[in-house]
Amino acid sequence: MLPGKVEAAFNEQIRHELESAYLYLAMAAWFDSAGLVGMARWMRAQTQEEVTHAMRFFKHIVERGGRVHLQAMAEPNSE
């Protein structure tokens, strides 16, 4: 079982990782719309890396009998 403060910190880190993924995805969309296909591909790769980080924390919490609490994220700037 995870101590409450540790579980809360891990859940917060999941949010940070997913927010980063969301920002990279927004940048990928912008680069795609600007015709910068290579940069868009790079941003999508970064998106996947951040999701992978989030899922490591997710799995860690679950494996230790904790509870994952997904938190709301802000909408990224599209410009």
69 lies in a domain?
no
Give the domain range for residue 35: 4-63
Phi, psi angle pair for 4, to nearest 5°: -55, -45
Please state the domain count of the chain. Answer: 1
- pLDDT for 35 equals 98
Residue 25 in any domain: the answer is yes
**Is 42 inside a domain boundary?**
yes
Per residue of the chain (79 residues), give pLDDT as tens: 899 999 999 999 999 999 999 999 999 999 999 999 999 999 999 999 999 999 999 999 999 999 999 999 988 887 8
Q: Confirm whether 16 is domain-assigned.
A: yes
Q: What is the DSSP letter of 79?
A: -
What global pTM score does this model have? 0.91
**CATH code of the domain in which 32 resides:** 1.20.1260.10
Nearest alpha carbon to residue 73 among 56, 39, 41, 50: 50
Asked if residue 76 is part of any domain, the answer here is no
Place of tokens 């891990």: 10
